[in-house]
Amino acid sequence: MIKLAPSMLSADFAYLADSIKKVEDAGAQYLHIDVMDGHFVPNISFAAPVIKSIRPHSKMVFDVHLMISDPLRYIDDFAKAGADIITFHINSESDADETLAKIKSHGLKCGLAVNPDIDIELLFPYKDKIDMVLIMSVYAGFGGQSYIEDVNEKIKKAREFFGPDMDIEVDGGIYTSNKNMPIDSGANVLVSGTGVFGQPDIAKAVKEFLN
């Protein structure tokens, strides 16, 4: 089953709770929450207090993507704020095994992410320690970028290695018009920001993704 994770980064922050309710009511299963520190990526976004403030307004899976240099330092904060899944980048400064163990200690699902220029094989040793693989189809940091088609081979390689039961999430430049590229390559979780929150009819966009 394909799961849709609308990216909160593209939502209208003035009406955040209302926007989240629209995508949830339309059938989106996950809410993708990009956390950026201005160091690991050249942008700054949400912190744990924002997640805590919206948690009472949604029953969706909170899919927290940490694009930060030292994720281990903040796992407790995001777990307490209401995250359900925490994913971080394999090339962050934190020890991967220690960070995954910390996420698991909170009873949460965990994932590892790679940018388009990072080899997917770096994640292979963690096959039995993670619940999700996140493959960036743009360079992490800003919304509205175009899908990098070269990542399709990376998605295929990930699906072949991790097998049919691993969630493989793809993030960046995905719209209803090109959603079949990651799906046909093996992805089952699609992140879309502009393709959902940037559309005139948010609910219609969600339904088109899930059809």
Catalytic positions are: 34, 171
**Alpha-carbon distance 95 to 43, whole Å?**
23
**Alpha-carbon distance 193 to 144, whole Å?**
8
Other Cβ atoms within 10 Å of 211 Cβ, number: 8
Given a contact cutoff of 8 angstroms between Cβ atoms, the answer to whether 122 and 114 are in contact is yes
The dihedral through the CA atoms of 83, 141, 121, 164 has a sign that is positive
- Pairing between β-strand 61-67 and β-strand 167-171 as defined by DSSP bridges: unpaired
Query: How many Å from the N-terminal Cα to the C-terminal Cα in the chain?
Result: 11
For the chain, the C-alpha Rg in angstroms (whole number) is: 16
Q: Which of 206, 150, 151, 172 is nearest to 67 (CA)?
A: 172
